[in-house]
C-alpha cells in the first residue's frame, strides 16, 4: 500500500506567502522526514521528526506530526522563489525492515516572484 501521500499535489503561491503541505501515511512509523527535490536533481534532506515528537522547527520550516491521525504537515514561511521544488515526505515503518524509506507522491510547489 502507498505510504506517505502528500496533498496538495501542486501548490502555487506568491513570494512572501506561507506554503503548507500535508502528508498522510498508513502504518506505524519511527520517523518521518521531509525532502526537497529541484527538477531533475537529487533529494535534499530538510527535517526529520521522530514519532514521539509533535513539532519541529528549522529556520523557515515548521513540521508537525500527529501520530493519532497518521499525518504530518510542512509549513514554509515567507516563501521565496528559490523554494520552488517538489517536496516529499518519507517514512520508515516501525518493526521489521524499518530502515526502508517509503516516499509519498510529493507536492510540487511553485513560488511566483
In the complex, the residues that contact another protein under the rule CB under 8 A are 4, 30-31, 33, 35, 40-45, 48, 88, 92, 97-106, 108
Q: At its nearest, how many Å lie between another protein and the CB of residue 9?
A: 9
Burial environment of residue 99 by CB neighbours within 10 A (0 to 12, 13 to 18, 19 or more)? exposed
Of residues 58 and 98, the one with the C-beta less far from another protein: 98
Q: In the complex, what is the shortest distance from the CB of residue 84 to another protein, in angstroms, rounded to a whole number?
A: 15
Q: Could you tell me the smallest distance in angstroms from the CB atom of residue 43 to another protein?
A: 4
Q: Please provide the size of the chain in residues.
A: 113
The three-class DSSP label of residue 76 is strand
Cell of 54: 509533535
Amino acid at each position: 500500500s502507498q505510504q506517505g501521500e502528500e496533498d496538495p499535489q501542486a501548490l502555487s503561491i506568491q513570494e512572501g506567502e506561507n506554503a503548507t503541505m500535508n502528508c498522510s501515511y498508513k502504518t506505524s512509523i519511527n520517523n518521518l522526514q521531509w525532502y526537497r527535490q529541484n527538477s531533475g536533481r537529487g533529494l535534499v534532506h530538510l527535517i526529520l521528526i521522530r514519532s514521539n515528537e509533535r513539532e519541529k522547527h528549522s529556520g523557515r520550516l515548521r513540521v508537525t506530526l500527529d501520530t493519532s491521525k497518521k499525518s504530518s504537515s510542512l509549513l514554509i514561511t515567507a516563501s521565496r522563489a528559490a523554494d520552488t521544488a517538489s517536496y516529499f515526505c518519507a517514512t520508515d515503518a516501525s518493526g521489521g525492515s524499518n530502515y526502508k524509506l517509503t516516499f509519498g507522491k510529493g507536492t510540487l510547489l511553485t513560488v511566483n516572484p
